[in-house]
Chain A
Amino acid sequence: MKMKKILSAAVTSALLLSIAGCGTSAPASTTAANTEAPKTDDTTTTAAEAAATEAAATEAAPATDSGEKLTLKVLTCRTDRVQDGHLDEITKAFEDANNCDVVYQGYTDYVSDVSTMMNTTDYGDVLFIPDTVKLSDLSNFFEPLGSYDEYKDKYNWADAKMYDNTVYGIAHRGNVSGGICYNKKVWADAGVTTLPTTPEEFIEDLKLIRDNTDAIPYYTNFAAADWTLVQWAALVLSASGSPSYENDLLINKEDIFTPGGAYYNVYKLMYDVFSDPTLIEEDPATTDWEGCKPAINNGLIGTMVMGSWAVSQFAEAGDHPEDIGYMPAPFSVNGKQYAQSAPDYCFGINKNSSDAVKELGKKYITWYIEESGDAEAEGSIGTLKGSKMPDYLEAFQNCELFVAEPAPDGLVGVFDAINTDSQVGTWAGDAANFKIQIAEAAISGKDFSAVEAIYADNNQRWAETRDANAELAAYLAG
């Protein structure tokens, strides 16, 4: 009897302790793992490797020959490259040179998972900075890497994660943003000889595809609209032809959708394509992202608005990788086409890591960007200035490439703040967002006045939030 009572009390208290311990013990143990020697966390990819090194360490050299061996935990969204071992393989050189272990942890739903993790102190040592972190909050989570002047001549997009002239993150690679994926063979078969440079030409070309081929001219991917329609947002800056377009919108206090403006035109093109049922697939509500990749590869789909990151995925999805092309946004300013080159995720360093690990993290970032050559191998633009441009950008020969201008001092992060506070969300894709509503209006056969109403509503919310923004007011006054 007594034994049982004691047992039950013990079990209860153990349970309670384990529950209470959840909050505090986890980060503590991982920071310990970071500072201690070769213990690696229980990750899948390098478990075998870690076991091997541990075994080697115990049998070969009990007398510490080179001091501590640090472990660097890198969070990444590139789960495919973690699984196929590619990242581990290229990192070996870095591990050997610096006598350390680099552990990769991949997250499929990167931004939401890591954003949640960032409520604790345990979010890796080197990680891609989620775009959910406001620029003004960067210093709460990430180690400053240096001043903008240190990086601006050496790296592309050094201002991507910068606040108060301090750089907190460096892009791991970049892409041409604001292009359109297409199947070259389908477009050629339809009789298109030169790529479109205006929205009107783009629609005409889609009609040619409809009339002359069996392919679906444009595939909306609307079932996954929360991110597929967001791809259209990347066309805006290219369509504007101005590196400072968004800053100018703020400084001149312009509406976000004005007839002739880039936002207006890009989403008008979206409406024009989506509202013609003969140009898009049968039922936009039940499209299939995985299914569309082989379809565009095999010439069953003509066109999709996607970032350049999609090119390699479409090329790998079937037997005709050579057919996948990437064309500039079909908008011209004074007869010239523009395209924006933009950073991918930026590496940041966890502020809560130990100093030694932070140093190692900086070395890792430098190594990845300057020596690994991974960006080029993946068909992206390297962060190091003067890197070789990838092959698929041949269609951009006549285009002027530009990098978006950083916001002037005092306006850093203001555009984003107004963007989210007003719930206009130029980069969002929730059901109440203007992109989704415009597409729905188009698919349900409403006329353009419905879009005008959506524009007007968003203009109003934008203007209200902008006029209430203290930072902008201070900037304009001073």
Chain B
Amino acid sequence: MAAPSGANIKKKKSISEWLHGYTGQKYTTTIIFLLIPIVLMILFTIIPAVNMGIFSFQERDQFGASVKWVGLDNYRTLFSDTSYFQTFINSIYYFIGSFVQQAIALLVATILCTKVRFANLFKGIIFFPYMMNGVAVSLIFRRFFQKGDGITNTEGTLNSILMLFGADPVKWLSNTDIVNWCLVFASVWRYIGFDIIMYIGAIQSISPDIYEAADLDGANSWQRFRYIIFPGIRPIIALQLILAIKGSISVFEIPYIITGGRFGTSTFVIRTIDTAFTYQHVGLASAMAVVLLAIILIVTAIQKAIFREDK
């Protein structure tokens, strides 16, 4: 009796000793600190994502009441009916817009990194739209582009300003030729602040010694940008472009709230939502989401490959 219990005590002691030792504490702290984020990630990211993958092989409605396994049928429908992928065409508008966005962001960032008065104030103002809720931004722009009829609503901000200068008000949101550009403008306005901050961070990480040397050599501003800043922030520019591609593939809230996807502004994500909740084809919609995920993964892989070549 005595001998085994003694051994037990000894063993226990060693565990508690280990726990109180350096490695033990290191492990317990790590586990405790990681537990919350990992549980949250499993609960809100991994389980839903796995479910989505499973749903994409099923025919099911919003309630999951009568589930049928259909294998690859959803994917077959998706790739055989061209109307689903047509909505990607609208992503091209946002993609083009993102180039303009990067150019302006780079310009503004470069200016803000030189000695400008109130530079921090400008940074704050420019970054502000990015902190605003996407729904709020969309509602602001719906009002901004409004064409009033004088009976149920008044002219929006843009038309009011145009009329101050004597121009005729424009139907911004019901003209299929310009409506997508209006939405791209709203999108650029919202996200440019983030880009500018990223560029400022990158530019500021360039050593001031290099600027000093350039100044001594008599470099002008353009030469400074062309030969110091631009090469120094190339990885960030590449990253921003990849993010822009991802963003333009998965545009959602701005067209959904401003136009509801009408007048040819629908996007793949809007189509996915309608498929799931208007037509109760949750299986098909999950397949669409999986395809979107796959496209984004491919884009990321391409990005990784390009980065490696750069090095």
Contacts and interface: CB of A to CB of B under 8 A. Distances in A.
Interface in A259-304: 281-288, 291-292, 295, 300-301
Interface string B170-196: 011111100100000000000000000
A425 B279 contact: yes
B152 A295 contact: yes
Interface stretch (A9-17, A86-94, A321-329): A9-17
Contacts of B174: 222, 283-286, 443-444
A140 B65 CA distance: 7
A352 interface: no
Contact of B61 (A134, A141, A226): A134
Interface in A395-428: 420-421, 423, 425, 428
B238 interface: no
Nearest to B83: A432
A219 interface: yes
A420 B277 CA distance: 11
A80 interface: no
Q: How large is the interface on B (under 10, 10 to 19, 20 to 34, 35 or more residues)?
A: 35 or more
Contact of A282 (B36, B83, B148, B274): B148
A284 B66 CA distance: 40
Nearest to B258: A285
Interface string B146-185: 1111111100100000000000000111111001000000
B260 A431 contact: yes
A134 to B, nearest CB: 7
B278 A428 contact: yes
A286 B280 contact: no
A10 to B, nearest CB: 11
A233 B285 CA distance: 25
B149 A282 contact: yes
Nearest to A440: B263
Interface stretch (A112-120, A194-202, A365-373): A112-120
Most buried by B among A134, A141, A226, A432: A432
A425 B277 CA distance: 12
A203 to B, nearest CB: 21
Contacts of A212: none
Contacts of A429: 278
B205 interface: no
A245 B40 CA distance: 52
Q: What's the dominant secondary structure at chain A's contact region? A: helix
A132 interface: yes
Nearest to A287: B152
A19 B43 contact: yes
A50 interface: no
Given A141-B63, A283-B173, A225 B152 contact: no
A282 B63 contact: no
Contacts of B279: 420-421, 423, 425, 428, 430
Contact of A286 (B39, B148, B264, B277): B148
Nearest to B172: A285
Contact of A291 (B40, B153, B262, B264): B153
Contacts of B265: 431
B274 A286 contact: no
Given A8-B32, A115-B63, A431-B274, A283 B261 contact: no
Contact of A133 (B63, B172, B263): B63
A391 interface: no
Given A282-B148, A283-B171, A136 B66 contact: yes
Contacts of A432: 83, 261, 266, 271, 274
B259 to A, nearest CB: 7
A226 B260 contact: yes
A137 interface: yes
Contacts of A16: 35-36, 39
A148 B281 CA distance: 30
A305 interface: no
Given A420-B279, A431-B261, A283 B149 contact: yes
B100 to A, nearest CB: 24
29 contacts: A16-B35, A119-B63, A133-B63, A134-B280, A140-B63, A222-B262, A284-B174, A285-B259, A285-B262, A285-B263, A286-B142, A286-B156, A287-B152, A288-B152, A291-B153, A292-B152, A295-B152, A300-B152, A301-B151, A301-B152, A420-B279, A420-B280, A423-B279, A430-B261, A431-B260, A431-B271, A436-B262, A440-B262, A444-B263
Given A9-B32, A292-B152, 17 more contacts: A134-B65, A219-B152, A222-B262, A223-B260, A226-B260, A282-B147, A283-B148, A283-B171, A284-B174, A286-B153, A286-B156, A291-B152, A300-B151, A421-B279, A436-B262, A444-B176, A444-B263
